[in-house]
Structure 1
């Protein structure tokens, strides 16, 4: 198994393996995943020397946290890094109606958004219980932003986070309950806004800094570099479109996205590089990126992807992507 490089989270004492495991799929909200299958994904990552695991209360409405904790509880707690999230509290489900967004509910809970001081403190205590662990290394505020809530409601949530919730995060970090704090989202703007009122160690940015999309290089990434804030890249395959599937942003990809991916794939094919290999390695070429955390659907899929992380990417691929205007001018590329 490869020895993964470890990179520092912000200016903290935490170091994560450049390959981490994302557990959104493992929670079973999008496709059914049994407890045994979920724990097998965690075990496969551990056996491959991955030592960074990311989860959240929202993933499987509690199921992912249970599975991560059950799979790793007997391991040396100082040997690996765990991140989870706050911003949603789980409450007993009172309705039998299907979820409006089609998500499955492996456990009998529904979510309530709460970005307040007390809500974040309660979320951490609840996560301890689900995980069966006594330490959370990185705590991300989950899914704040206009992408998730719309402009008007997000202004309300962001004010609560700024005026109340951030105090809880800062207290948890200051007292050593968590080693780092951050935000985990699918958009850049709310992270730019948050840098205006908080000192953040890391941002988990899903789907926005990939081989397909590099807009964060215009503003967010330079700001993070100047502030000493790391970026963890979730969704490096853009919900599957960079792995040969037809989904982007958790839905069917629009024609313009498909066309751009086809152009990127053609350049990769000319260099005999699988598109997923180029996509999985791309974010780590930037020094602000501490880790990528793909979320495999099965343990077998995780193991199948491992060789893609160590495959040699020829320098000519980089130049050809630039010549085709398929890369941001400031984007560093492996190779």
Structure 2
């Protein structure tokens, strides 16, 4: 399991520096030695906090895998809005899309300064795809393939980057990129979870053919697979539930309710199944959880190590809740009496 550093960039709510540093330290102590961040997360705040936390923890080179992203430049702004693009109490900087060669090189250099390092293990091109760019997507994709991709390839060849790929919310754009270029892997957010496994059909098999690994971000699909829908506050409507960054539609709520009912039959917490399910696929090398406190780190670590009986996964498959091509975690052997 990897540590997603968007929350320590003040995602939706402000965190103190002390809490951010304590959260990173707790993640390292729990064995989460992969940290993913981005300039977009808090407009530099997440990267800066990761850099300070790693320096304070005296982490030696090679002990932790670090990834960050390119595709946006941070430019000065006069706004003082308390919440912008989902981030609270951030520096007076505005993210502006730029997938050009020069834009990627500049973004990368600024990230190194914030992270206090001279190289990173993985560099992702951030948020390409129609979901983000709409009608501008073809032009943005062309800008990236003709400019930013060349910059990333040069950074890899120089040794400043260990691996390159896309960090996206759509498996379709990752598949398109893999058909146009040579990428080591992808950070796919929310598109291979207990709620959706469409990536099984063509994208994950193509990754297997091309030797590309996949890191699965957003295993809780924006929260609904962590909170569930049957708790009193949620069921009554007092606590909203989110799916794919928006209020969950009724069809998703109904599907999650089914998952919870089966979980109750086998005493399996929904969040534990949500974390463990994607990790069973051979192309997925890490599951990335966004965490905002040491307590959340401890809870996620517990869920990831919760024993889940094979019968639970069989029940999900029998009731048509997971793709027939989706591997499921192997249950641990029953100890002899």
Whether these two folds match at TM > 0.5 is yes
Distance in 2, Cα, partners of 1:110 & 1:117: 20
Residue 77 (str. 1) matches residue 61 (str. 2): yes
Equivalent pair of 1:237/1:279 in contact (CA under 8 Å): yes
Distance in 2, Cα, partners of 1:219 & 1:98: 42
Equivalent pair of 2:9/2:87 in contact (CA under 8 Å): no
The within-5 A match list for 1:1-335 is: 19-73=1-55, 74-96=58-80, 101-150=85-134, 152-244=135-227, 246-334=241-329, 335=331
Equivalent pair of 1:85/1:140 in contact (CA under 8 Å): yes
SS state at 2:62 partner: helix
- Structure 1 stretches of 4+ with a deviation exceeding 6 A read none
CA deviation string 1:1-51 (max 9, x = no partner): xxxxxxxxxxxxxxxxxx110011111031111111111111000111211
Equivalent pair of 1:239/1:250 in contact (CA under 8 Å): yes
The alignment covers a number of residue pairs equal to 316
Structure 1 gaps of 5+ residues are 1-18
Cα shift at 1:225: 0.6
SS state at 1:216 partner: helix
SS state at 2:88 partner: coil
CA deviation string 1:100-142 (max 9, x = no partner): 7454342111011100111110011000111111221100000
Q: 1:95 to 1:203 in 2, by over 3 A?
A: same
Structure 2 gaps of 5+ residues are 229-240, 332-337
Cα shift at 1:98: 6.4
Instruction: Give the TM-score, by structure 1 length.
Output: 0.91
Cα shift at 1:307: 1.4
Equivalent pair of 1:29/1:106 in contact (CA under 8 Å): no
Distance in 2, Cα, partners of 1:63 & 1:177: 22
Q: 1:83 to 1:100 in 2, by over 3 A?
A: closer
Equivalent pair of 1:61/1:105 in contact (CA under 8 Å): no
Cα shift at 1:94: 2.8
Give RMSD over aligned pairs. 1.3
Distance in 1, Cα, partners of 2:277 & 2:81: 41
Match of 2:335 in 1: none
Equivalent pair of 2:99/2:143 in contact (CA under 8 Å): yes
Equivalent pair of 2:79/2:92 in contact (CA under 8 Å): no
Question: Highest CA radius of gyration, 1 or 2?
Answer: 2
Cα shift at 1:279: 0.7
Distance in 2, Cα, partners of 1:80 & 1:52: 6
Instruction: Give the TM-score, by structure 2 length.
Output: 0.91
